[in-house]
């Protein structure tokens, strides 16, 4: 979770779900549109990856909206396959990243 330090308003969220001891999934990641391109998403992603490593997982998967898959690609995620289409209009991609040990 990320908040604006001046207003205290929530500006970004993300959840890490452990699927197996080796695999975690990022779910419900979102950043307020008015603060995108300011590093909020990158900070959230880094925090979720750090937690996944702490838990001992070696792989992270996620379902990214096709329109923002490039964001995850910049951080080492690769597209595995097409995923679901939300509300019949928002295509998603299944993406994956193997975590290096820190």
pTM score of the predicted model: 0.88
Task: Give the total number of structural domains in the chain.
Answer: 1
Predicted local confidence at residue 102, as pLDDT: 56
The model's confidence at residue 101, banded by pLDDT at 50, 70 and 90, is low
Positive or negative, the Cα torsion across 28, 90, 81, 39?
Answer: negative
Task: Give the model confidence (pLDDT) of 43-98 as tens digits.
Answer: 999 999 999 999 999 999 999 999 999 999 999 999 999 888 888 898 999 999 99
Cβ atoms of 60 and 45 within 8 Å: the answer is no
Predicted local confidence at residue 95, as pLDDT: 97
How many whole angstroms separate alpha carbon 96 and alpha carbon 46?
Answer: 15
CATH of the domain at 57: 3.40.630.30
Strands (E), 9-89: 10-18, 23-31, 59-65, 78-86
Q: Which domain holds residue 10?
A: 2-98
């Amino acid at each position: 979770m990320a908040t604006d330090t001046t207003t205290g308003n929530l500006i970004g969220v993300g959840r890490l779900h452990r699927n197996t001891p080796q695999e975690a999934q990022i779910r419900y990641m979102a950043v307020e549109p008015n603060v995108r391109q300011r590093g909020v998403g990158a900070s959230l992603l880094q925090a979720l990856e750090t937690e996944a490593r702490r838990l001992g997982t070696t792989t992270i998967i996620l379902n990214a909206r096709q329109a923002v898959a490039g964001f995850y690609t910049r951080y080492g995620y690769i597209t595995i396959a097409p995923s679901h289409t939300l509300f019949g209009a928002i295509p998603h991609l299944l993406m994956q990243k193997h975590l290096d040990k820190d």
